[in-house]
Structure 1
């Protein structure tokens, strides 16, 4: 260690990563990240623990929680309750705080929870603390209060209560009658009240009179105590403090105070300073987001070189073909034009496929588990892997005949396999052999127990390399969050933990085998799906057919002149009459001046202060029957409300074929 307390070079962590790891591992509060799953009980009826710190076991009393599903850990009723709490956080995005007994261990927990963005990740973070001792003290306090109320008058009971129990606690305790007079207040509360509000509190004084003349203090005190003195028992967290003073956050628990006859005679407050806890929760959320962004950027960075190379090749094919067409036309030689046109169109289709695969990898599309045969994914995946790992590494696949289908989110599966291939590449800096192999496997009861699986049939997908291998004493750590064997600054240590979380979420598992100097194999086990796999529909080419009426008018809005020209000329060739505009405001002006426009074809991302969705919404206010065709490059999906569009509306993704454009416009008109 150096003088600042950081590890010496070679420890495997950057300073920033070590801060995150130390924060994660040194927290007193338990912390976990859960991810919601669909199951037999319905959508989002279960969740799996994908991340947990060491304090999780200390506070909850449950070890080895990562990878465990809730309904395998607790009773059905308890599972329904926990799912209800956290699903509300996921759906609404509103944090919650509450207390609850963990029936499985008998511990009382104080919990707070917030959603991890984006919502599509279906993940919620939970920060909690074992408050069993405090809970018992509060129960003892209530029991003592009840006992004293039966024996002595209320004033003596409250004094003895403070003297025997409360005066020694770190809570700020106040006991108040229905008029707001302090019947009792412990020393900690006196000190804190004066520090926050600048007013001395004392038994016998009236709290509302004490803060009179101090607008902020009076408003804050009345806002919380008026509810309690009206008979409401509640828990809340609020910020207190006059301007210019140290404002702090407090967790307050208000309860009713009863006399000997059972009548309500006041209220009492137990209050705790939770400022540091909330700040730590905020720092943890920021650290979590930073780590996820780092992992995302690392994966995207691995793809950049191969993608740039491939795109340059495709662009060269397109531009070269166009130049050859121009040269042949200038020479009056048209015989080779069709060959060059076919070459340019083929390169365009491959470029479009490449962008779509990158978008799927970046999870910009809605992803769901579907029945699939993994062998069907291998051709496209192998192409992506070869571009990613480079020419020095030979990539092979061994696809088992008759492979069973699995019910899995195939984009997440491809993401996991790509992570494994990147790790394999990094283990072979001088080149080598990378193999992706699939197979069917029966798991008997003994093997299933040793591998934390259910007995039955599984499909295996294994990624192996001939690289440096991993030492035996590190094998058990490779799936731990933040653990990495890469040099400083070259990895977040989250790749394999995410692969592990994906496998467990899919009711499977992941195993690793390695020999130093020989290589490594990582196998994902996924349960067999009994049913047919989904078959992707192949698009059918359509010829351009002119519309019957050549007077049907279309407005085309696009800020790219070349695209606008191509769209307009394609539609006019098909028999439409076209108007055009280069931005949202001008397009809206054209619509207002031409009431006979039947179809609006607009790019989603437009300059001028109005995007395509906003133009369409305003146009529909003028002409409710107007048909709309949105053209999008995927990056603008948020403007389209993530694909939720109304009747009389269609979406066409760039790049598109002219045939598809004309077919979509015809389809909109035929839907009248």
Structure 2
């Protein structure tokens, strides 16, 4: 019930009180009142008492510890009392027991009402419950009853709001001044910042620009920007910049946050600026334009360029150091080999001029051996650089190891035990079998040299399925691999040696006992084959070398031996061979060797001449061609052209190094093979024989 209705309530309460007095008089006179009127008045009073929103109570003054009328007791209270005052079950409680120290203030107010009969209206905090109350109190007549009626409601939220508003008003001016000072400081900082700040609306008009932005813009464009001016109109002075810069702003207007770098001339110098664009939002989060922070990054980019040039110079220096080490090692080994070749040839020439024919075979053998060692050294260099020509085939790795065991055992000697272990379900691998045999033999020889007093070499073959995490550790794509591991019980490697294990010409062996190309050759060959190599070693703990080789899901070439040239050579049966090589001495050598074997030979120095020799009626059983040929067609293109005329024509590519990539290593068509220079004529004859055999 609103407080404004208090007078009508008081009038109603007076009526009720008068009815009660009449009731008491009738009871005293033992006159029974009319039953209906008494019941009706009581029900109305009780309904009003319980239903009203305001708290209501009747207190009765009593004599207390401090004298007459020094306390009061609650004789009646409606349900709203507890809700507004925060004190439940108040009927029967004495004031001093309820609120203690603050009791006297309440007694003074209500005592005045009791003594004078004047109704009062006031606001006061009920400290015991922390609530503010708005109260109205009046005396219940007659005064002899010593009773006061109190009507009240909780105004705590309003009082707290008033306190907060009063505090806000008291600090508002101070906070406004602080905000103004902060804004001035921020504006000064922004205006003096080295970054160039521009703020535009959707019409390309300046909403704001700081001092650096205005200064640089005027220096570059020639116009001093002002708030409200058109940014796009100002850029018409620089049409070379206008379209690009406006495109950046349109991206920012569309809501994109990004950065870019542009280069412009300021006077005679070129400057580089990093532009950072962002959309401008209003208080509701709606786009109303965009802003740009620009930074002069000329010095940073120039420094980066200087660092790049220094790094490039360092890399070039390191390359030259590596080249020096490489060429020094090559020169050392090749000079030794060439000395043997030249010396043997000179002695051979001397014996022929003297007519002394003894020892000729020894001199030719010495020269041939030195030349073969030079060829092997070249192959190792190419393997290290991953540029050798490979002939990968599906290989059953365990069969390859079994076939090589006798040679390995003879090479390592009887004092070293050789053990082999293989997964019974070992996958096939796609590899150049001959090169893998060389690599395996090389690893076993290294292991032998690490065990001068004997020991054990283990060759372990296993399947490896690498997930993404494992593959990342091995620097390989995820997938299936066959692992070939060679372990020894030797001296092991220190960390310093392990770090340089794959360096060319690095060796821990005495001079003359190793070229330092063994591990580097194996490393290059495995990488070129699509695999990876890892070494686990420690001083005194032996060494394990693990080769991860790509899995092959096709059937192995069981009928084709790894070294077909080891089969006995047989003469030809008049088959026609086309020989194409631009080097006359090599072409003459090839033609003479083939004629001596009983073949018919056509020869050409380039692809155009070769194609002119072949007609539909020309018999042709084999093409032997160099890969690098002069003219518009190389060896692979010549082979493809002839195969369009003769689809089943066998092709033997002869390659040294420079043009080996054009034949597509590992991707040769059926009936195509590769022979790497240098080669012996005996090897050439057996390779031709193998390719001419009917399948």
TM range (shorter): 0.3 to 0.5
Q: TM-score, normalised by structure 2?
A: 0.46
Quick check: which has more Rg, 1 or 2? Answer: 2
Bigger RCO of structures 1 and 2 (CA < 8 A, at least 6 apart):
1
Q: TM-score, normalised by structure 1?
A: 0.47
Q: Which has the higher helix share?
A: 2
